[in-house]
């Protein structure tokens, strides 16, 4: 009987928990997503750097920040080609940024952040590239722009790489038209992005650089 009561209590608790989650699912899932978002960008930075991986959303956000006086310098990172044989068929980060600027009828100019490894393959690589370049230029504060769901992890990687330097890293999140923190569980892309961050973020907490067992070369 004692065992039966324990099972009954456990089952009842599970049912109540499921019901509560269902009733408050929108609030709970939105708060879960908001944990991954960080926005610290302020005006007057030395440069705005667009991280690779989501240029359709990140480039317009960089231009918006530039237009509102966050910095006069716009940069894109140098990403390693996914397929060197056909890379000429894909628009580069720089070319895409320039085309978007023309379409928005603005006079912003872009430059490429030089890579120290022949092309970045991770956020840690981009942080290493920016640190080396910022030291050469004597910069004091830089804004990195990435997708909203990626801002906390990107911020963590850059702060680890920049630890010990006097250069301040600020973060701006780029929104998109498909999902946000209030409806991400209703789209395939939103589910993939926010659940993948749950897996990737602990890795960035535990390592100061890209783990050796992660093959990005």
145 close to 62: Cβ distance less than 8 angstroms: yes
pLDDT of residue 116: 85
Which pLDDT score, from 0 to 100, does residue 162 have?
A: 95
Encode 63-88: b = buried (16+ Cβ within 10 Å), e = exposed.
Answer: bbbbeeebbebbbbbbbbeeeeeeee
Domains and CATH numbers, the chain: 32-206 (3.40.50.1380)
What predicted TM-score, i.e. pTM, was given to this entire model?
Answer: 0.85
pLDDT of 206 reads 82
- Predicted confidence at residue 213, as pLDDT, reads 46
Give the per-residue pLDDT at 216: 41
* 10-residue mean pLDDT series, the chain (217 residues): 60 58 71 93 97 92 96 92 62 90 93 88 92 96 96 95 95 94 93 92 80 46
The pLDDT value recorded for residue 111 is 95
Size of the chain, expressed as the number of residues it contains? 217
Beta pairing, strands 141-147 & 110-113 = unpaired
């Amino acid at each position: 009987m004692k065992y039966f009561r324990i099972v009954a209590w456990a089952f009842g608790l599970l049912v109540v928990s499921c019901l509560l989650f269902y009733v408050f699912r929108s609030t709970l899932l939105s708060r879960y997503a908001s944990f991954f978002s960080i926005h610290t960008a302020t005006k007057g930075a030395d440069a705005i750097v667009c991280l690779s991986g989501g240029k359709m959303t990140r480039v317009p956000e960089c231009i918006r920040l530039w237009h509102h006086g966050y910095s006069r310098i716009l940069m894109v990172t140098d990403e390693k080609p996914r397929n060197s044989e056909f890379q000429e068929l894909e628009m580069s980060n720089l070319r895409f940024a320039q085309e978007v600027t023309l379409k928005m009828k603005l006079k912003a100019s872009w430059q490429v952040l030089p890579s120290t490894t022949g092309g970045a393959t991770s956020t840690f690589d981009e942080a290493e590239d920016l640190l080396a370049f910022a030291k050469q230029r004597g910069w004091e504060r830089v804004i990195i722009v990435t997708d909203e769901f990626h801002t906390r992890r990107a911020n963590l990687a850059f702060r680890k790489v920049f630890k010990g330097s006097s250069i301040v890293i600020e973060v701006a999140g780029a929104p998109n038209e498909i999902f946000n923190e209030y409806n991400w569980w209703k789209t395939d892309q939103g589910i993939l992005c926010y659940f993948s961050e749950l897996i990737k973020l602990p890795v960035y907490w535990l390592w100061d650089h890209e783990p050796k067992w992660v093959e990005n070369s």
